[in-house]
Amino acid sequence: MTTFSSDLTTAPRRAFRLLPRWQPWTLSVCLMAIAVAAPIVVVFSHLAKPNGELWHHLATTVLWDYIANSLLLMIGVGIGVVLIGVPAAWMVTLCRFPGRRLFEWSLLLPMAMPAYVVAYTYTGLLDFAGPVQSVLRNMIGDLVPLGWIPEIRNLPGSILILTLVFYPYVYLLARTAFLEQSSCVLEVSRTLGCTPWRSFYRVALPLARPAIVGGVALAMMEALNDFGTVQYFGVDTMATGIFRVWQGLGDADSAAQLAAILLVFVFLLLAIERWSRGRQSFAHTTTRYRPLPRYQLSGWRSAGALVGCSLPILLGFFVPAGMLLGWALNNTEYWMTWGFLGLIRNSFTMAGTAAVLAVLLAMVMAYALRLHASRLSNIAVRIASIGYAVPGTVLAIGVLLPFAALDHGINAWTKAQFGWMPGLILSGTLVAVTYAYLVRFLTGSFNIVETSLGKITRSMDFAARSLGRSPGGTLVQVHLPIMRGGLLTAVMLTFVEILKELSATLVLRPFDFDTLATKTYDLASDERLAEASGPSLAIALVGILPVILLSRAIAKSRPGEGEAEGEAGDHTDAYLPSLADPHLTAPAIAEK
Amino acid sequence: MTASDALFLDRVSHDFGKLRAVDGVEITVAAGEVVCLLGPSGCGKSTVLRLSAGLEALQQGRIAMRGQIVGDAATGRNMAPEHRQVGLVFQDFALFPHLTVAANVAFGLTALPAGERQERVREALAQVGMLDYAQTYPHALSGGQQQRVALARALAPRPALLLLDEPFSGLDARLREQIREDTVHLLKASGIATLLVTHDPEEAMFMADRIYLMRRGRVEQAGRPSDIYYRPLNAFVASFFSVVNELPVQVVAGRVETPFGPLPANGLGDGQPAQLVIRPEAIRFDGPAAGAAGAMVEEVRFLGAAALVRARLTEGAHRGRLLVARLAGNGMPPMQGEAVWLSIANQGVFVFSGA
């Protein structure tokens, strides 16, 4: 079979080229790579700075608590998401029990709400005036023993909340991995004498392991990134530490040093995740699929599966959503206001602008790879799509420090030259926030854009050219119509992610500029939980959109049960950064 | 080159990095002719096709179409693919998924006024028997139907040259034969010059007026299918079309000694290493006679119209060598363990130099 390489015409592949050709596509992706790497480099550069007095103080007091809490949180969430995600994926893909099809997509529902929203709804649920204590008081009178009420605002509570919100990563990846295993492989293991359970442990699980590891690494990255939950629960982690040292104590250098340590952990996870991605391609043993034979569960097993699948959905989605709805309906006066509309306008314009920009940049990256693949552009794209791993607080520091320095420099210069100062141009403006969003969310939109561009085969390009279209005509008449669904999906998903983002927004936003996320955080921090329900419900409603898309994709794209024709559906899997790897799909040379 | 040749490649070479993919190739496709580029994968045949279409920048040599130079490495002339008036059909058919069958076929007809365009689309679809599917989207078509639409799309603008890149290998075996036959009839009926790339010798022989057999970027032999089959220039060409028996032989006094008696040495000098190549169907079971070699039948595979017989020579210098014979026609094949006499036909036996 002949595969058309993406670029045989102009870039003969060599192992090493001394002088890169500064071709416009390559140049653009290189600039993007530099822009994405800059905050990371800035943060790491602080490791080389001499330690200040405050740092010494930190190291002797709370630093080790920060590190220990972050590690415990990460490990706890890692274990939690495996315990929920893997069995759930196994049950819905390889067993048959009542409600299986419903669970297949509804297990994704907890992705709709950001962790910090779930965190404060649980606080409200369990506090003195909350429904749980009220019901208990009604049942057994005023003397509810203290130990009866579980304390949620601590480390185990944070682990529980983050597990509930992030297990869908593992579920989604493990489910795909189980689905992609050939039913033949499982049947062979049965004929070789394995029981269903032994087949699971000896064949299905090892084959799915790389995907599971990838999902866990992602969930752990998100756990390290989390700021809202741990801050609200008063758990001192690296993420909150950075925030406190900087905002509270005003020591940017120490904050950056803390951030650098956090980045080291993140990059370890990133390495694991990348490794697992490389391994996933080996698990595809066949391209021939048949509908998977499912084991019929009956009796107590069936009931167990039912409970096992509903519990995470109930706890991760319906309980917090119910709390939010209840608060919002009972306290309409808090959010049926002009101020609330302003919040929505702020959030939507900011997230919308950044999402469109992110997708445009993602298109530049995808086309650079398609039209002028070279070693250099490959590396540049790899760097430019690393941002999803960088925690929001770290990113905020990495953006603000150089921007502040730049502003300072500009003002000093204009003052010297013209005796006039323009004020803050970059830091503390929407420019800084947008830049941070682009760095962090470019990965997701790039993966989707690249996936949809990959559907347009090289021979379609050639067919269009031979039928009389110029390259521009091919773009407009072939590429854009085919990619339209993917591009819209990319904009939408990026929009939602930005809307939910808290920590970077909190730090980088202009003075007095509130979004739905920051308002939720502010109100919840002041224990005005009912008032926070308005903005959080708005976030949750928008957050449902990707879940709908993903579940549509799930319903349509069962291997062996017909290919997906979905416009939007089949791009969404790519939104998990690990599901579509640009570097595994790197062009292969034809006609060696 | 004549002005009427649909395509002429003049000493064309092409490198991918350090790899020479095409090496001094000269190819002509006359008007109305169906020419096959045949060769193992990686021999450079697809690159030749892509160079002809203008999808690959010409590095060395010249390309002319109907007497007009469309590419010349020396002057840097390289006509864009959209101006070359070539039709292309790909292995994966490359139908545009967002357009209906009719819109796919109309894609190359923008220069025509609307009424004429519709008429042309109808005509092209009728030609391939797909008129009923005009409003269908490609994903709802079978592989064979997609192939026919791809062909109609390529033919609709009435190109000067049709380029087909492994157009049948995406189809399953039974369908392939039918589509292949339909296609060759269609090509002949429309009288379009065609260059077809394939790795399947049977397909090439079936489709082609002439075949260019390529290996490692070079043309090993060109000619009519029967010429190449019965007059191969070397062992590679001979063995590309079927399984063959190869025996090392000695040249003595202008002749080679074979188990079936001496044969002319094809101009090879005495003592030079030589190779005897016998096609399986050139071996006969004629009974004892001059030039017959004794052998023992080891295995018989009955195929219906023919039988494959493996027999081991039991005498002479090549004693113990296993030969494969393809026995066609009527009558029972020999039995396993039977002693037989093998002799050779005039056609299908070749002597080449080499080890």
Collapse the DSSP code of A298 into the 3-class scheme (helix H, G, I; strand E, B; otherwise coil) and give the result: coil
Q: Is the residue at A19 inside a domain?
A: no
Domain that holds residue B154: 5-230
Residue pair B271/B253 in contact (Cβ under 8 Å)? The answer is no
Report the CATH number at residue B50: 3.40.50.300
As for how many domains chain B has, the answer is 2
B312-339: per-residue pLDDT in tens?
999 888 888 999 999 887 667 888 888 9
Any CB–CB contact under 8 A between A1 and chain B? yes
Nearest-Cα distance to chain B for A447, in Å, is 21
List strands edge to edge, sheet with B273-278. Answer: B261-264, B255-258, B245-252, B273-278, B349-353
Q: Which CATH number belongs to the domain containing residue B337 in this structure?
A: 2.40.50.140
Task: Report yes or no on A116 lying in a domain.
Answer: yes
Residue B196: both structure tokens together: 């077809």
- Spell out which residues of chain A touch residue B57, defining contact as CB-CB under 8 Å: 9-10
For residue A548, give every residue at least 6 positions away whose Cβ sits within 8 Å of its Cβ, in sequence order, or none: none
* Number of domains chain A is built from: 1
Q: What is the pTM assigned to this prediction?
A: 0.80
Helix count (H) and strand count (E) of chain A?
Answer: 26, 2
Residue B40 contacts residue A591 (beta carbons within 8 Å): no
The answer to the question of residue B72 being in a domain is yes
Least confident of A37-41, B25-29, B103-107, B301-305: B301-305
Residue A4 lies in a domain: no
Give residue B355's pLDDT band: very low, low, confident or very high (50, 70, 90). low
| Among chain B residues, CA nearest to A11 | B17
Model pLDDT, residue B315: 84
Question: Do residue B301 and residue B156 come from a single domain?
Answer: no
B49, B51, B52, B55, best to mutate vs chain A, most A CBs in 10 Å: B55
Question: Nearest CA to B32 among B162, B224, B183, B198?
Answer: B162
Q: In this structure, is residue B237 part of a structural domain?
A: no
Q: Which two tokens stand for residue A320?
A: 């917090």
Between CA A306 and CA A318 the distance in angstroms is 16
A292 φ/ψ angles, rounded to the nearest 5 degrees = -70, 135
H helix intervals, A114-182: 115-126, 131-140, 155-180
Closest CA to B61 of B20, B117, B9: B9
Q: What is the DSSP letter of A246?
A: I
For chain B, the first-to-last Cα distance in angstroms comes to 38
Beta bridge partners of residue B218, listed in sequence order: B215
Q: What span, in angstroms and rounded, lies between the C-alpha atoms of B197 and B91?
A: 10
Which residues 112-171 of chain B have a CB within 8 Å of chain A?
A: 139, 153-154, 157, 159, 163, 165-166, 169
B236 in any annotated domain: no
Are residues A8 and B92, on separate chains, in Cβ contact within 8 Å?
A: no
DSSP reduced 3-state for B4: coil
Q: Could you tell me if A556 lies within 8 Å of chain B, comparing CB atoms? A: no
Span B265-290, average pLDDT: 85
Tell me: do B192 and B250 sit in the same domain: no
What is the CB neighbour count within 10 angstroms for residue B18?
A: 8
Q: Which residues of chain A have pLDDT under 70?
A: 1-22, 142-148, 182-184, 280-293, 555-592
Rounded Cα distance between B146 and A65, Å, is 65
User: B322 and B177, same structural domain?
Assistant: no
Contact (CB<8Å) A482/B21: no
Indicate if B142 and B192 belong to the same structural domain.
Answer: yes
Look up the domain containing A184 and give its range: 28-278+304-591
Beta-ladder partners of B68 = B65
Q: What is the CATH number of the domain that holds A328?
A: 1.10.3720.10
Contact B313, B325 (CB under 8 A): no
Q: Has residue B239 been placed in a domain?
A: no
Reduced to 3 states (helix: H, G, I; strand: E, B; else coil), residue A537 is helix
Express each pLDDT in B150-208 by its tens digit: 999 999 999 999 999 998 987 888 888 888 999 999 999 989 999 999 999 999 999 99
Partner A contacted by B82 (CB < 8 A): yes
- Single out the residue in B230, B253, B288 at which a domain terminates: B230
Assess contact for A441 and A498: CB atoms under 8 A: yes
Residue A460 to residue B96, Cβ atoms within 8 A: yes
Asked if pLDDT for residue B275 goes beyond 80, the answer is: yes
Is-contact A324 A537, C-beta < 8 A? yes
Q: Which of B175, B207, B230 is the last residue of a domain?
A: B230
CB distance from A134 to chain B under 8 Å? no
Q: Are B9 and B145 within one domain?
A: yes
Residues 6+ apart with CB under 8 A from A434: A350, A353, A354, A357
Give the minimum alpha-carbon distance from B351 to chain A in angstroms, rounded to a whole number: 32
- Asked if the C-beta of A8 comes within 8 angstroms of chain B's C-beta atoms, the answer is yes
pLDDT of residue B111: 87
Contact between B166 and A2 under an 8 Å Cβ cutoff? The reply is: yes
Domain membership of residue B235 (yes or no) is: no
Residue B262 lies in a domain: yes
In a domain, B238, yes or no: no
Put residue B40 in one of left, alpha, beta given phi > 0 → left and psi -120 to 50 → alpha. Answer: beta
Question: The dihedral of CA A181, A182, A186, A189: what is its sign?
Answer: negative
Do A455 and A482 meet the contact criterion of CB atoms below 8 Å apart? yes
B118 and B80, same domain (yes or no) = yes
Q: Is residue B32 within 8 angstroms of chain A, CB to CB?
A: no
Nearest residue in A to B111, CA atom: A468
Q: In angstroms, rounded to a whole number, what is the distance separating the alpha carbons of residues A365 and A490? A: 14
For residue A14, what pLDDT is reported?
Answer: 39
* Residues composing chain A: 592
- Verify that B274 and B330 share a domain, yes or no: yes
In a domain, A6, yes or no: no
Handedness of CA A320, A266, A490, B96 (dihedral sign): negative
In a domain, A555, yes or no: yes
Other CB atoms within 10 Å distance of the CB of residue A286: 11
With a cut of 90, say whether residue B61 has pLDDT above it.
yes
Domain assignment present for B17: yes
Domain termination site, one of B230, B258, B291: B230
